[in-house]
Amino acid sequence: MRRILALALLIAPLALPKMPLDEYRTRRANLRKNLDGVVLLASRTEGRDEVFRADQEPNFYYLTGWTDPGSRLIITPSREILFLPHHDTRREAFMGVRSSAEDKDAHALTGFDEVLPIEKFEEELDKALSANEKIYTLPNTAFADKLKTLYPFRDISDASPMIAKLRMKKSAAELAAIQRATDVSLEGHRAAWKKMAAGIYEYKLEAALVNTFIENGCEGVSYAPIVGSGPNSTVLHYSSNHRRADLGEVVVIDSAAQCDGYASDITRTSPVGGKFSKRQREIYEIVLGAQNAAIAAAKPGIRLSGPTSLTQIAKDYMNAHGKDLHGEPLGKYFIHGIGHQVGLQVHDATVDGPLEAGMVVTIEPGIYIPEENIGVRIEDVILVTENGAKLLSGALPREPDEIEKAVAK
């Protein structure tokens, strides 16, 4: 949904993750437990002249932790094989040396017992399909089209749902990565607050965010930063970030870091000049109340959206508190859902259903009133626990008095 910011994706390929290789082995083993066919995945492809760093295909990365392009993966109920391209001296002169199946450390580096050169892929696939009828892969890709051509009479199904079921519940290692991305994100928001003053341009606040993420050793942003002042605060996914923020306006800053491959998602709304107007504070406190009501209700079994959901709880709170300039309830100005899954992607893999313990989701109510040039969104990430929810981003102020103090000059 959100475009990738090129500034945060410059040049070098991604480094291998800090997460232990046993984490990926466990994920593959969990996938194989009820597997009734062959899972086939391809890594990202490499352009003719790769100037910008490209993230790995998320499902491939989730199961392998491998970031190099041009690789493939076969998983069957009894085997898992990683296929790597050969060394290319000319390309490596531009992009750096990459691993190959013939390298002595290939098994230790990848965490796979079987690492084969890429030209062995079709041979091994034929062997796998001699014992397994079904094929699972990611649809609507060039790789899927090739498989349909090679095996026109095979049942080729979408692998996304079975992998998504694994991705939705976070392991301890994943939670640690998300918490780090969250902590760095909060530091970025504090850096932006320190720069906030009447007359500052939105892009200067964006620069403070991105600089903080990079200085902390993260890959960069997990999505294009939203820094919307005045009328731009009412635009949900505004991202031009070129307007001047003037005294008396609010600024919505929606920005988070990607660290060690994992994302966070944080939004705060603050007043330029350090003081909310009476009306701005009124709207802010209603949004905060709606967020607190949703967080308090978050637990296994409830849904993010639908008739009886966290979204509805937040909207009901808004409708019960405050009016617009025409005396109408404010719930109609909450124009999006309450939240989404967070993980390898800021809008992470999901399967329709109620919340379960181990999921990390956002709680992000907002009220956007273009007629008043007031937009307020407050967004935090929570971990769903057995008995409720744990706020992972609670170290960043949410109360209006604390916000005013943080941005006051």
CATH number of the domain to which 214 belongs: 3.90.230.10
State residue 396's pLDDT score.
Answer: 98
Residue 139 domain flag: yes
- Count other Cβ atoms within 10 Å, centred on residue 102: 12
State residue 90's pLDDT score.
Answer: 86
Rounded Cα gap, residues 188 and 139, in angstroms = 37
Measured on CA atoms in the order 97, 103, 105, 106, is the torsion positive or negative?
positive
Q: Are residues 78 and 111 in the same domain?
A: yes
Q: Are residues 188 and 274 in the same domain?
A: yes
Q: Are residues 253 and 199 in the same domain?
A: yes
State residue 6's pLDDT score.
Answer: 38
- The pLDDT tens digits for 79-133 are 999 999 999 888 888 888 899 999 999 999 999 999 999 999 999 999 999 999 9
CATH number at residue 59: 3.40.350.10
Rounded Cα gap, residues 221 and 85, in angstroms = 29
Rounded Cα gap, residues 256 and 213, in angstroms = 8
Q: Are residues 184 and 161 in the same domain?
A: no
Q: Are residues 136 and 178 in the same domain?
A: no
- The pLDDT tens digits for 354-392 are 999 999 999 999 999 999 999 999 999 999 999 999 999
Q: Are residues 210 and 163 in the same domain?
A: no
Rounded Cα gap, residues 303 and 361, in angstroms = 11
Residue 214 domain flag: yes
Q: Are residues 98 and 118 in the same domain?
A: yes
Instruction: Tell me what the mean pLDDT of segment 243-260 comes to.
Output: 97
State residue 18's pLDDT score.
Answer: 74
- pLDDT band with cut points at 50, 70 and 90 for residue 8: very low
211 Cβ contact partners less than 8 Å away, ≥ 6 residues apart: 191
268: tokens are: 């705060």
Whole-structure pTM value: 0.93
Q: Are residues 245 and 163 in the same domain?
A: no
Task: Tell me the average pLDDT of the chain.
Answer: 93
Instruction: Tell me what the mean pLDDT of segment 53-77 comes to.
Output: 93
Final residue in a domain of this structure, among 134, 168, 202: 168
Boundaries of domain holding 323? 172-407
Residue 262 domain flag: yes
Q: Are residues 269 and 204 in the same domain?
A: yes
What radius of gyration, in Å, describes the C-alpha atoms of the chain? 23
State residue 330's pLDDT score.
Answer: 98
- pLDDT band with cut points at 50, 70 and 90 for residue 54: confident
State residue 409's pLDDT score.
Answer: 65
Query: ∠ CA 112-358-391 to the nearest 5 degrees?
Result: 125
- pLDDT band with cut points at 50, 70 and 90 for residue 7: very low
Residue 228 domain flag: yes
Cβ atoms 115, 107 nearer than 8 A = yes
Which range scores top for mean pLDDT: 2-16, 94-108, 292-306? 292-306
Q: Are residues 183 and 107 in the same domain?
A: no
Residue 305 domain flag: yes
Instruction: Tell me what the mean pLDDT of segment 47-64 comes to.
Output: 80
Q: Give the chain's domain count.
A: 2
Residue 294 domain flag: yes
Q: Are residues 79 and 188 in the same domain?
A: no
Check residue 331 and report its DSSP letter. Answer: G
In the chain, how many H helices and how many E strands?
Answer: 12, 17
Q: Are residues 163 and 183 in the same domain?
A: no
- pLDDT band with cut points at 50, 70 and 90 for residue 11: very low
CA 2 to chain centre: 10
Among 218, 210, 211, smallest CA distance to 5 is for 210
Final residue in a domain of this structure, among 106, 134, 168: 168
Rounded Cα gap, residues 179 and 181, in angstroms = 5
Cβ atoms 174, 381 nearer than 8 A = no
Final residue in a domain of this structure, among 168, 183, 216: 168
Write the burial class of residue 287 (CB in 10 Å: 0-12 exposed, 13-18 middle, 19+ buried): buried
Q: Is 241 left (phi over 0), alpha (psi -120 to 50) or beta?
A: left
Residue 1 domain flag: no
